Every structure is written in structure tokens, then in C-alpha cells.
Amino acid sequence: MLRAARPGDEPALEAFLARHAETSMFLRANLLRLGLSDHTSPHGTAFFLAGTQGITAVFGISNAGYVQMQAPGAPPALHAAFAARIAGRNVAGLTGVPDQVDAAKRALGIACATFSLDNPEPLYRLRLDALRLPSSPGEIRAPAEADRDLIFTWTRAYSAELHMSSPDRLDEEASGRAERALTSGDVRILEIDGTPAAMTAINARLPDTVQIGGVYTPPALRGRGHARRAVALHMAEAYAEGVETAILFASGPAAARAYEAIGFDRIGAYSLAILTEPTVIGGPA
């Protein structure tokens, strides 16, 4: 019913996930960048697939403990089969289409667990040839080593504000995000007259599509259009490099308004459910 993906499955996996492109960005990006057998990167993912006459569902768990799935219409037995496959693994959170995330929680035995973040968010898409660039001030640049402390502070505040981490993990996770911001090439800082005013990031990348995440403006500078300017300039840069489409999920009404102002259209919902403490699947309740 459900088996581990093996070498040679990659084209069929990508073809299936591409049919659900907007809600498969993490799975697709991890598959493209790290393949089927990475055991060191936090984003390295173990893939499991269902279907006899072609793939009908895909489940994954990253090395960092994040469960991802693309399993439209999957019965409870299939989610249970995935839970059995990852018994003994630590799960830190789940991402995916809301009803699929709910089904996975039940199968994994964590539906009643405590989540620091568990709220379906509006999902947006933009064809970048329709991007609207705001006239507000500021230009973006890649971060430099001198920005490490700033990025640490901003990413820590971002995680705390959105309840993306438990308090005792905020420092460690912010340090990791700061390091990745300096090495990944996926983060941009908006500066106004030499002063950093906002930050934007790409959290999943494909040749033709990117997913935006980690957009942050410090509280004292909010309400001035800095975030929309930062995202729009970042996406204009991506468009110039051949990217055609951007995806994101908005963290609240203010963020949604900012994204709609530069051309994003709502196309559905997406769930990001992060456990307050990682939980061993199949372990003691």
C-alpha cells in the first residue's frame, strides 16, 4: 500500500507533485536539491509513495522532523501506514493542505498534542509577469557577515511572534537561520538610506517557481509598505533570473493585504502545524 521511494522513482515523484504544484513546494524543492537519500541536511527527506498504476499519494519526513504530504483523498488507512513507517521518529511539525494535515495528526497520534503554531493560512500565487512594484523607498541587497546579529535578532523575533518555536529553542533555531541566510543566497534585506528596514526570504526553490517565507519588518517600522517593497524587489530579481511563479502563505490580515497589493491572488489554504515539543511517533502518550 505504501513503500519507501527508491532510486529511479524521482521522475514519477516530481511529475505527481507538479500536478499539485502550489501545495508541494517543500517536497519538490527537497527532492530536487537533496534527492532521496540525504541523511545530514535538515531538509533531507525520506519519501514514501502509494499507488500501483502510478503515484496517488506522497508522504515525507525531513531529517529535522517535519512531516509533509501530498495525499489528496487518501483514506485513513494510508495515513496509518505512513505513521507505521515512521514509528520511533521524532516529529517536530507538519505542513500541507489543511485536511491532509488533520488526517496525518490523527494517524500519528498527535491530534491532541500541544502545538505552538497550528493555524491554516491563506495560500497565494503570483505569475511574476504580473508583479506590481510599489513606489515606496528602499532597495534590497544580499546579507553580509556584518548582518549576522541583525538576522539573528529578526529571525528570533519572527519565530517568537508567530509561535514557530518553543522559548527554549528560539536562540538555537535563530542561529541556524542566520547561518543559512548568509550562505543560501535566498535572503534579501531592504535598506532605506543605509538602514535595514525589512527582510524577505525564499524557503523553497525550483527552476521556475519559488516560495516566499520569513518576511519580517521590525514593529517600529511597520505600516509603511516596507515588506511589500522587499518582497516585490526580491521577486523582480527572481523574475530576471527566469523564475515564473511565486507562492506564499500569509501569516495574517496585514501580510495578506501587503501581498495582494503587489499582485498575489489567493488560491486556497495551507497549514503549518509546529509542535511545542518534538514528539516520538508511537512513543508514550
157 with 258, same domain: the answer is yes
Report pLDDT digits (tens) over 97-142. 999 999 999 999 999 999 988 989 999 999 999 999 999 999 999 9
Q: For 34, what's the count of Cα atoms within 13 Å in the CB-facing half-sphere?
A: 20
183: CB partners within 8 A, 6+ apart: none
Split at pLDDT 50, 70, 90, the class of 283 is: low
Q: What's the CA gap between 72 and 74, in Å, rounded?
A: 6
Kindly report the CATH number assigned to the domain that includes residue 144. 3.40.630.30
pLDDT tens-digit readout, 179-231: 988 999 999 999 999 999 999 999 999 999 999 998 999 999 999 999 999 99
Same domain, 136 and 248: yes
Residue 17 CB contacts under 8 Å (≥ 6 apart), including other chains: 24, 27, 28, 31, 58, 70
Residue with the bigger pLDDT between 171 and 110: it is 110
> All 3 cell numbers of residue 141?
541587497
**Mean pLDDT within 135-157:** 95
Q: Domains in the chain: how many in total?
A: 2
Supply the CATH number for residue 45's domain.
Answer: 3.40.630
Do 181 and 71 lie in one domain? The reply is no
Query: Is 267 among the domain residues?
Result: no
Residues 63 and 173 in one domain: no
Burial (CB count within 10 angstroms: exposed 0-12, middle 13-18, buried 19+), residue 281:
buried
Which residues lie below 8 Å from residue 91, measured CB to CB, with a gap of 6+? Answer: 61, 65, 66, 67, 108, 110, 275, 278, 279, 280, 281
Strands 245-249 and 121-127: antiparallel
Are the CB atoms for 71 and 79 separated by under 8 Å?
A: yes
Please state, in angstroms and as integers, the Cα–Cα distance from residue 91 to each residue in 79, 168, 180, following that order. 15, 17, 22
User: Does residue 125 form part of some domain?
Assistant: no
Provide the strand spans (E) within the chain: 3-4, 45-50, 57-62, 66-70, 90-96, 115-118, 121-127, 139-141, 187-192, 195-205, 209-216, 245-249, 265-280
Whole-number pLDDT of residue 160: 83
pLDDT mean across residues, the chain: 94
Q: Do 167 and 254 have their domain in common?
A: yes
104 & 38 share domain: yes
Quick check: is 126 in a domain?
no
> Which amino acid, 35?
G
Q: Residue 77: inside a domain, yes or no?
A: yes
The answer to whether the CB of 41 falls within 8 A of the CB of 58 is no
Name the pLDDT band for 53 (thresholds 50, 70, 90). confident
Euclidean distance between CA atoms 76 and 82, whole angstroms: 10
Domain identity same for 20 and 44: yes
Residue 151 maps to a domain = yes
- Looking at residues 20-26, what average pLDDT do you find? 97
**Residue 127 domain flag:** no
Any domain includes 285: no
C-alpha closest to that of 162 among 75, 62, 273, 70: 273
What is the domain range of residue 137?
Answer: 132-262
CA dist 125 → 31, 87, 198, 211 (Å): 21, 35, 21, 9
84 with 20, same domain?
A: yes
Asked if 7 and 87 sit in the same domain, the reply is yes
Residues 197, 84 within the same domain? no
282 or 98, greater pLDDT: 98
Is the pLDDT reported for residue 285 higher than 60? no
Phi-psi region of 24 (alpha: psi -120 to 50; beta: other; left: phi over 0): alpha
Locus of grid cell 516560495:
211
Regarding whether 204 and 111 lie in a shared domain, the answer is no
Instruction: Say if residue 113 is in the same domain as residue 46.
Output: yes
The confidence band for 52, taking pLDDT boundaries of 50, 70 and 90, is confident
